A = this chain, B = another copy of it.
Amino acid sequence: MHIKSLKKCSTTKARAGEFETAHGKVKTPVFMPVGTVGSVKSLSPHDLVDTGSQVILGNTYHLLLRPGMDVIKSAGGLHRFMSWERPILTDSGGYQVFSLGHLNEITETGVIFQSNLDGSRHELSPEISTDIQRVLGADIVMAFDECTAYPATESLARESMALTHRWEKRSLEHFRKTEALHGFDQHLFGIVQGSVYEELRKACAAALVDMGFDGYAIGGLSVGEPKEDMYAMTDVVTDILPNDQPRYLMGVGKPEDMVRAVALGVDMFDCVLPTRNARHGIMFTWKGPVSVKAAREKFNHEPLDQNCSCYTCENFTRSYLRHLFKANELLVYRLASIHNIHFYHELMTAMRKAILEDSFADFQKRFFEHYHLKRAE
């Protein structure tokens, strides 16, 4: 897998390009909405296409527990199960095993954990995770890694990284030995760990590049560390990753973080923030996040954003959205999610345009002049 038509900014590390998958082309920088349990919460595939979604994410952990691999396999994979025709990236399941806190045992082989839903025991390993993602039919499969807890001492982070290397190598070997089940090619990304330690991040990136993945993710960030550490680690890693392959900063993020990360050479993002915030009435605009539930919106018969072309802004007012939130009307979770996902994609489109016109530094400056980080509070 290669980044094609790569255009690099002359003053930052920002890049625009595109890559191919069996389910179509993806233009970068790209934001991937999170389809946790087989749907991007409240949105239909049609809504996703309409908002400009090029590729979505599926969570191995959640799909393994519900509906289970037997169902998805018999459906012919996740694309067919959820009626999504564009690319899908699935994670390895590791992050949820570590973060949802029902981990029973971790050995060299892998992990044994209990479902957060019914307590049932399950196993994940580099081989099992790869097999599951084969069944899901992800266009992009993620290697199985240990997500280092934050904070971690350097020696713990080093140990964790070493395990991650062995696991990712097994992921790669197993991926190469196994075949796609649903008649199309899949790709495997490695994940750079190393906590907030520059030397570890460098060593990890170099080791993974040496193994030779189709693309590279930066993991273990946006987990509570200072923002400056997140940017510094990203900066260090993108210096080492191959220019002609995609780079994915996992679990990021906020608009301001994505703009900073694009400047540091990241191509791909995912985050539950736009959909989760939408369900709480926090809407993203170019002026910053806005709480549409606020009393000041009661008689505001203007759209969220006059210039926004999403279905929500073209048809509904802030007053109406506020009313729907106050009345707990189901419709509003979708309308709000449509706007936020559309905004995230528009942000990516604007960055891509700026990079292609070699005006990204200007874009970044203007973005931070207008975007108020805390307006919603």
Complexed CA–CA distance, A332 and B83 (Å) = 13
Q: Is A317 an interface residue (CB 8 A)?
A: yes
Q: Is A44 an interface residue (CB 8 A)?
A: yes
| In the complex, per-residue mask of A161-172: 1 if CB is within 8 Å of any chain B CB, else 0 | 000000000000
Known: A44-B335, A320-B81, A327-B66. A71 touches B298 (CB 8 A): yes
Complexed CA–CA distance, A329 and B327 (Å) = 19
Q: Which interface residue of A46, A62, A81 has the most chain B CB atoms within 10 A? A: A81
Interface pair B41/A331, CB less than 8 Å apart: yes
Q: Is A323 an interface residue (CB 8 A)?
A: yes
Residues of B close to A70: CB separation below 8 A: 299
Residues of B close to A311: CB separation below 8 A: 44, 46
Interface residues of A in 10-66 (CB under 8 A from B): 37-39, 41-46, 62, 66
CB of A360 to closest CB in B, whole Å: 36
Residues of B close to A41: CB separation below 8 A: 329-331
Q: Is A301 an interface residue (CB 8 A)?
A: yes
Q: Is A103 an interface residue (CB 8 A)?
A: no
Interface pair A37/B329, CB less than 8 Å apart: yes
Interface pair A75/B327, CB less than 8 Å apart: no
Cross-chain contact of A330 among B81, B315, B330 (Cβ < 8 A): B330
Interface residue total, chain A, C-beta cutoff 8 A: 41
Q: Is A82 an interface residue (CB 8 A)?
A: yes
Known: A311-B46, A326-B67, A331-B39. A320 touches B74 (CB 8 A): no
Residues of B close to A335: CB separation below 8 A: 44
Residue of B nearest to A315 (CB): B83
CB of A31 to closest CB in B, whole Å: 20
Residues of B close to A74: CB separation below 8 A: 299, 301, 319
Residues of B close to A301: CB separation below 8 A: 74-76
Q: Is A333 an interface residue (CB 8 A)?
A: yes
Complexed CA–CA distance, A332 and B330 (Å) = 11
Complexed CA–CA distance, A42 and B335 (Å) = 10
Cross-chain contact of A38 among B67, B76, B320 (Cβ < 8 A): B320
Residues of B close to A332: CB separation below 8 A: 39
Residue of B nearest to A323 (CB): B67
Residues of B close to A334: CB separation below 8 A: 42, 44, 330, 334
Complexed CA–CA distance, A335 and B317 (Å) = 24
Q: Is A324 an interface residue (CB 8 A)?
A: yes
Complexed CA–CA distance, A74 and B317 (Å) = 12
Residue of B nearest to A301 (CB): B75
Residue of B nearest to A326 (CB): B66
Complexed CA–CA distance, A45 and B322 (Å) = 17
Residues of B close to A37: CB separation below 8 A: 323, 327, 329
| In the complex, per-residue mask of A212-242: 1 if CB is within 8 Å of any chain B CB, else 0 | 0000000000000000000000000000000
Q: Is A316 an interface residue (CB 8 A)?
A: yes
Interface pair B329/A39, CB less than 8 Å apart: yes
Interface pair B316/A83, CB less than 8 Å apart: yes
Interface pair A317/B38, CB less than 8 Å apart: no
Interface pair B330/A75, CB less than 8 Å apart: no
Identify 23 residue pairs between A and B in the complex whose beta-carbon atoms are under 8 Å apart, listed by A's number: A38-B329, A39-B324, A39-B329, A41-B329, A41-B330, A42-B330, A42-B334, A43-B331, A44-B311, A44-B334, A46-B311, A62-B327, A66-B323, A66-B327, A67-B322, A67-B327, A74-B299, A75-B319, A75-B320, A81-B319, A81-B320, A82-B320, A334-B334
